[in-house]
Structure 1
Amino acid sequence: MEQPNNPLHGITLKAILNFLVDKYGWEELGSRINIRCFNYEPSINSSLKFLRKTPWAREKVEKLYLKSLK
């Protein structure tokens, strides 16, 4: 399915998370998006698990990612 207006099309959640962690680090990420998986013993896998089950948190991560690209 073509999604020409979706800037996230074709980008995995893992790639987004890795980009944000590389750019900000866990501490800064946790202060920008205050969710437990970023602030307490953060890891890519535990964060992915949480974000896949939690639409509101995933939305915040995606918004930050798009803002960070500009």
Structure 2
Amino acid sequence: MQDPAAPPPPPPTQPRNPLHGLTLEHIVTTLADHYGWDGLNERVPARCFASNPSVKSSLKFLRQTPWAREKVEGLYLYLQRELRRTGR
């Protein structure tokens, strides 16, 4: 039995997960800065990017909509690969 006063074990590391340690807010902000809200809406068609877009409303939507979150995370990974490839 574990001692209740002992600190909790550290969370498992994910060395092969490129999104590990990144917040959804960072991902959305980076994409919005790079593509703009209109460009983001073209790539991931969602009302949160088209109608009165904000980081806050996007986060709320993406946390509740797994398919959209997967697309946004995939777009972020694509952007990172392209930036590395072009040396920016």
Q: Tell me the TM-score normalised to structure 1 length.
A: 0.98
* Cα distance in 2 between the residues matched to 1:20 and 1:43: 12
Cross-structure match for 2:46: 35
Query: 2:80 aligned with 1:69, yes or no?
Result: yes
Identify unmatched segments of 5+ residues in structure 1: none
* Cα distance in 2 between the residues matched to 1:27 and 1:56: 19
Identity %: 59
Secondary structure of 2:26 counterpart? helix
Cross-structure match for 1:16: 27
Moved over 4 A (4+): none
Q: Which has the higher contact order (CA 8 A, sep 6+)?
A: 1
Aligned residues: 70
Larger radius of gyration: 2
Secondary structure of 2:14 counterpart? coil
Q: Tell me the TM-score normalised to structure 2 length.
A: 0.78
